[in-house]
Structure 1
Amino acid sequence: MGSGSRPPLPGAILFACNFNRVRSPMAEAVAKQILGDRVYVDSCGLKPDLDAEGADPFVQAVMAEQGFDLEGHRPKTFDDLTDDSFDLVISLTPEAQHRAVELTRHRAAQIEYWPTHDPTLADGPRENRLAAYREVRDALARRLRERFGEDGE
């Protein structure tokens, strides 16, 4: 797909999943790399994971393999957003899709649903689990590049 057939870049994008610890932080990090400072990018989840802080350790590991530092990521919910005026909300889970529709009901925002496998469901040895997280990371990166171009152009 040539850059002429892509829609214009939105001013602000929100990625949403269930806990903002796995899928949406990955998508946020890759989108920020692709889009730079031309687009405001954020992520959130539906509910807090009261038993955990920061990005999932497997997320931190597989993102670090590609130079992303998610050590400082602090999960937040829709209710924690300081501004909810996003031009594009990309939900990565069915539950987040429902909330995205509610969030944008009275706004002129575009919603996209990118169903994304939950790598936390992988079991077995550490390497098997890391492979599941890598698959999600790589699938999100491919989808982002298809949607916004290799360098957001």
Structure 2
Amino acid sequence: MNEAPRRRAPQAVLFMCGQNSVRSPIAAALLRQIGPRGLYVQSAGVTHGEPNPFAVAVMEEIGIDISGHRPWTVDDLENWEGFNFDLIITLAPQAHHRALEMTATLATDVEYWPTQDPVGTEGRRELQLDAYRATRDELMRKIRARFAPPPVANE
């Protein structure tokens, strides 16, 4: 019987987006909450962003506090703690290109999960929050699919 090869379980995951203010901190917080125990999770951006109150609000709705998050870049991260990730998940095109450049000589897997940036959403506050919720929920689905525990074999 031919089975698809199993991906090895990562030990350290980095989520990258453009400014580390919405998508990557949401994804990192979600994975920390529902991911395997002992998994190291971090987030970073290509450039510096500002903390985003809408991101904080939609995460608070599901009981996850990201109010203390301060955006930083992959350069900040590398200078602070080194770059020791075995999986980088990029959420924006510029982040994906940067990750590929950074890992050209490393044994690091890079996955691209195109994810809508809700920052440009205009209109009433509730419409804006809906866009952030959609991004949060999309990331939750992708994280559950990617990091689901392996099926238990029937004995």
TM over 0.5, yes or no?
yes
Residue number in structure 2 paired with 1:76? 72
Q: Does 1:65 align with 2:61?
A: yes
How much has 1:38 moved relative to structure 2? 2.0
Residue number in structure 1 paired with 2:153? none
Specify the SS of the correspondent of 2:24. helix
C-alpha distance after superposition, 1:63-96 (max 9, x if no partner)? 0000010111111101111221210000000000
How much has 1:6 moved relative to structure 2? 4.9
Counterpart residue type for residue 101 of structure 2 = E
C-alpha distance after superposition, 1:29-86 (max 9, x if no partner)? 001011254210000001113xx3x3x1000000000001011111110111122121
TM-score when normalising by structure 1: 0.89
Give the whole-Å Cα distance in 2 for the aligned partners of 1:5 and 1:77: 33
Residue number in structure 1 paired with 2:91? 92
User: Over aligned residues, Cα RMSD in angstroms?
Assistant: 1.5
Residue number in structure 2 paired with 1:121? 120
Change (3 A) 1:5 1:35: farther
How much has 1:10 moved relative to structure 2? 0.2
Structure with the greater alpha carbon radius of gyration: 2
Residue number in structure 2 paired with 1:133? 132
How much has 1:5 moved relative to structure 2? 6.9
Q: How many residues align structurally?
A: 144
Give the whole-Å Cα distance in 2 for the aligned partners of 1:31 and 1:5: 23
Residue number in structure 2 paired with 1:144? 143
Identity %: 48
Change (3 A) 1:105 1:133: same
Counterpart residue type for residue 26 of structure 1 = I
Counterpart residue type for residue 15 of structure 2 = F
Residue number in structure 2 paired with 1:20? 20
Residue number in structure 1 paired with 2:33? 33
Give the whole-Å Cα distance in 1 for the aligned partners of 2:60 and 2:9: 27
TM-score when normalising by structure 2: 0.88
**Please, which runs of 5 or more residues in structure 1 have no aligned partner?**
none
1:87/1:109 contact within 8 Å kept: yes
How much has 1:138 moved relative to structure 2? 0.2
Residue number in structure 2 paired with 1:107? 106
**Please, which runs of 5 or more residues in structure 2 have no aligned partner?**
151-155
